[in-house]
Structure 1
Amino acid sequence: MRIFLILCLFISVSTFSQSDILAKEYFKNGDFNKALVEYKKIYAQPSTSIANIDAIVETYQQLEQYAEAEAFLLEVSNRVKYAGFIVELGYNFQLQKDTVNARLQYNKALETIDLQTSNAFAVAKVFQKYNLLDEAIVAYEKGMALNPEYNFNLQLARLFGEQGKIEKMFVSYIGYVEVNPFAVNNIKRSINDFISEDSQSENNILFRKILLKKAQQAPNLLWNELLSWLFVQQKDIKKAFVQEKAIFNRAPESLDRIADLATIATSEKQKETAKEIYEFIIEKSQDIETQVSANYHLLQLETNVNNKENYSEIEAKYLKLFDAFGSVSQTLKLQIAYAHFLAFYKNETGKATSFLENTLELRLTKFQKAEVKLELGDILVLQEKFNQALIYYTQIQRNLKNSSISQEARYKVAKTSYYKGDFKWAESQLKILKASTSQLTANDALDLKLLISDNKYEDSLQTALKLYAKADLLAFQNRNDEAINLLDQVLNEHKTEPIIPQALYKQAELFEGKQQFEKAASNYKAIIENYREGILIDNALFKLAELYVKHLEQPDKAKPLYEEIVFNHSDSIYFIEARKKFRALRGDAIN
Structure 2
Amino acid sequence: MRYLLILCLLVSGILYSQNPTLADDYFEKGEYKKALIEYQKLHAESTSNITYINKIISTHQQLEQYDEAEGFIVKLMERINYPAFLVELGYNYQLNNNPDKASEYYQLAISKIDEKASHVFGISRSFQNHALLDQAVIAFEKAANLNPNYNFSVQLAQIYGEQGNMEKMFHSYINFAESNPRVIRDVKRALNDFITEDSSNENNILFRKILLKKMQEEPNILLNELLSWLFIQQKDYKKAFTQEKAIYKRQPENLNRIEEVALMASNDNENEIAREIFNFIIDTSQDAETKLEAHKNVIDIDIKESSKTNYNTIKLKFEDLLKEFGNTPETLELQIAYAHFLAFYLNETQDAINFLETSLELPLASIEKAQIKLELGDILVLQEQFNKALIYYTQIQRNLKNSTISQMARFKVAKASYYKGDFKWAESQLKILKASTSQLIANDALDLKLLITDNKYEDSLQTALKLYAKADLLSFQNRNQEAISLLDKILDEHKTEPIVAQALYKQAQLFEMNSEFEKAKANYEVIIENYREGILIDDANFHLAEIYEKYLNLPEKAKALYEQIIFNHADSIYFVEARKRFRALRGDAIN
What's the TM-score once normalised by structure 1's chain length? 0.89
Q: Per-residue deviation at 1:135?
A: 0.8
Match of residue 375 from structure 1: 375
**SS of structure 1 residue aligned to 2:195:** coil
1:192 Cα deviation (Å)?
A: 1.2
Any conservation in 2 of the 1:23–1:36 contact (CA below 8 Å)? Answer: no
For the pair 1:502 / 2:506, whether they are aligned, the reply is no
Q: Does 1:351 align with 2:351?
A: yes
| One-letter code aligned to 1:583 | R
Change (3 A) 1:60 1:424: closer
Question: Is 2:137 the partner of 1:137?
Answer: yes
Deviates more, 1:419-428 or 1:339-348: 419-428
CA shift for structure 1 position 91: 3.0
Provide the C-alpha distance between the structure 2 equivalents of 1:507 and 1:564, rounded to a whole number of angstroms. Answer: 23
Between 271-280 and 343-352, the greater mean CA deviation after superposition? 271-280
Partner of 2:175: 175
Structure-1 residue corresponding to 2:439: 439
AA in 1 matched with 2:432: I
The 3 A distance-change label for structure 1 pair 132 and 309 is same
1:103 CA drift (Å): 1.6
Moved more, 522-531 or 60-69: 60-69
SS at the partner of 2:535?
Answer: coil
Deviations 1:459-478 (A, max 9, x none): 22222222222221111111
- 2:36, 2:532 → 1: CA distance? 54
Structure 1 position 314 matched with structure 2 position 318: no
Aligned to 2:459: 459
CA drift of 1:168 comes to 2.1
Once the two structures are TM-superposed, the CA of residue 490 in structure 1 deviates from its matched residue by: 2.2
How many pairs are equivalent?
Answer: 573
Query: What is the CA-CA distance between 1:50 and the residue it aligns to?
Result: 6.4
- Quick check: 1:39 aligned with 2:23? no
Q: One-letter code of the match for 1:200?
A: S
Per-residue displacement from partner, 1:392-418 (whole Å, max 9, x unpaired)?
111111111221111111111111111
In the other structure, the counterpart of 1:342 is 342
Q: Matched residue of 2:229: which SS?
A: helix
SS in 2 for 1:436: coil
State how far apart, in whole Å, the 1-side matches of 2:136 and 2:79 are.
25
Which residue is equivalent to 2:198? 198
- CA separation of 1:444/1:118 partners in 2, compared to 1, >3 Å: closer, same or farther? closer
Distance of 1:62 and 1:456 partners within structure 2: 62
Take 2:395 and 2:347, find their aligned partners in 1: how far apart are those partners?
26
Which residue of 2 is the match for residue 11 of structure 1? none
Distance (whole Å) between structure 2 residues aligned to residue 33 and residue 463 of structure 1:
71
| Aligned position for 1:518 | 518
Q: Which runs of structure 2 are paired with 1:126-275 in the superposition (5 Å)?
A: 126-275=126-275
Is the Cα–Cα contact under 8 Å of residues 318 and 338 in structure 2 kept in the other structure?
yes
Question: 8 Å contact 2:36–2:56 — kept in the other structure?
Answer: no
Q: Is this contact kept in 2: 1:505–1:523, CA < 8 A?
A: yes
Q: Any conservation in 2 of the 1:559–1:586 contact (CA below 8 Å)?
A: yes
Aligned-residue CA RMSD (Å): 2.9
- The more displaced of 52-61 and 227-236 is 52-61
Aligned twin of 1:409: 409
Q: Return the alpha-carbon distance in structure 1 between the equivalents of residues 444 and 42 of structure 2.
A: 58
Who is 1:363 aligned against?
A: 363
- How many percent identity over aligned positions? 61
Residue 10 of structure 1 corresponds to which residue in structure 2?
none
Counterpart CA distance in 2 for 1:184 and 1:128 is: 25
Cα deviation code 1:161-211 (max 9, x no counterpart): 222222222222122222122111111111111222222222222222222
Amino acid at match of 2:337: A
- Once residues 35 and 562 of structure 1 are traced to their aligned partners in structure 2, the CA distance between those partners, rounded to angstroms, is 44
Please tell me whether the aligned partners of residues 203 and 590 of structure 1 are also in contact (alpha carbons under 8 angstroms): no
Q: Tell me how far 1:286 sits from its aligned partner.
A: 2.3
Structure 1 residues 493 and 226: CA distance shift in structure 2, 3 A? same
Q: Following the alignment from structure 2 to structure 1, what is the Cα–Cα distance between the partners of residues 529 and 20?
A: 59
User: 1:533-544 counterparts in 2 under 5 A?
Assistant: 533-544=533-544
Correspondence for 1:492: 492
Give 1:142's aligned amino acid. Answer: K
Label 1:27 to 1:267 Cα distance change in 2 as closer, same or farther (>3 A).
closer
Q: Does 1:565 align with 2:565?
A: yes
Q: Contact 1:569–1:575 at 8 Å: present in 2 too? A: yes
Does the 8 A contact of 2:24 with 2:35 survive in 1? Answer: yes
Taking the aligned partners of 1:50 and 1:535, their CA distance within structure 2 comes to: 49
Q: Kindly provide the amino acid, as one letter, of the partner of residue 43 in structure 2.
A: Y
Instruction: Give the conservation status (yes or no) of the 8 Å contact 2:39–2:55.
Output: no
1:531 aligned partner: 531
Provide the C-alpha distance between the structure 1 equivalents of 2:303 and 2:38, rounded to a whole number of angstroms. 76
Structure 2 counterpart of 1:3: none
Change over 3 Å in CA distance of 1:371–1:37 after alignment to 2: closer
CA distance in 2, matches of 1:269, 1:458: 41
Residue 31 of structure 2 corresponds to none
User: Which of 470-479 and 459-468 deviates more?
Assistant: 459-468
Q: 1:18 to 1:127 in 2, by over 3 A?
A: farther
Query: Structure 2: which amino acid aligns with 1:480?
Result: N
The amino acid of 2:182's aligned partner reads: F
Output the CA distance in 1 between the equivalents of 2:139 and 2:119: 9
CA contact (8 A) 1:27 1:59 kept: no
Distance 2:62 2:525 in 1: 58
CA 389–211 in structure 1, closer or farther in 2 if over 3 Å, else same: same
Structure-1 separation of matches of 2:41 and 2:543: 62
Cα displacement (A) at 1:526? 2.4
**1:547 offset after TM fit, Å?**
1.0
In the superposition, relative to structure 1, how do residues 459 and 323 fare at CA in structure 2: closer, same or farther (>3 Å)? same
CA contact (8 A) 2:42 2:52 kept: no
The CA deviation at 1:57 is 6.0
* Distance 1:309-1:38 versus aligned 2 partners, 3 A rule: closer
Q: More displaced, 322-331 or 109-118?
A: 109-118
Distance in 1 (alpha carbons) for counterparts of 2:264 and 2:184: 20
Work out whether residues 35 and 59 of structure 2, in 8 Å CA contact, stay in contact via their aligned partners in 1: no
Aligned counterpart, 1:585: 585
CA distance in 2 between partners of 1:508 and 1:26 (Å): 55
The whole-number CA distance in structure 2 between the counterparts of 1:452 and 1:547 is 29
How much has 1:78 moved relative to structure 2?
6.3
| Shift, 1:335, TM fit | 0.8
- Give SS of 2:293's match: helix
Report what 1:423 is aligned to. Answer: 423
* Structure 1 counterpart SS, 2:199: coil
Q: 1:570 & 1:226 partners in 2: Cα distance?
A: 32
- 1:307-365, CA deviations, whole angstroms, 9 ceiling, x for partnerless residues? 23332322222222222322111111111111111111111111111111111111111
**Equivalent AA in structure 1 for residue 105 of structure 2:** Q
Aligned to 1:13: none
Aligned equivalent of 1:294: 294
1:391: which partner in 2? 391
Between 1:402-411 and 1:490-499, the stretch displaced more is: 490-499
* Aligned mates of 1:69, 1:555 — CA distance in 2: 53
Kept after mapping to 1: 8 A contact 2:177/2:183 = yes
In the superposition, the TM-score normalised over structure 2's length comes to 0.89
Q: 2:131 aligns to what SS in structure 1?
A: coil
Q: Which amino acid aligns with 1:324?
A: E
Contact 1:39 1:55 in 2 (8 A): no
Question: Which deviates the most, 134-143 or 567-576?
Answer: 567-576
In structure 1, what is the Cα distance between the partners aligned to 2:551 and 2:479? 24
Partner residue of 1:8?
none
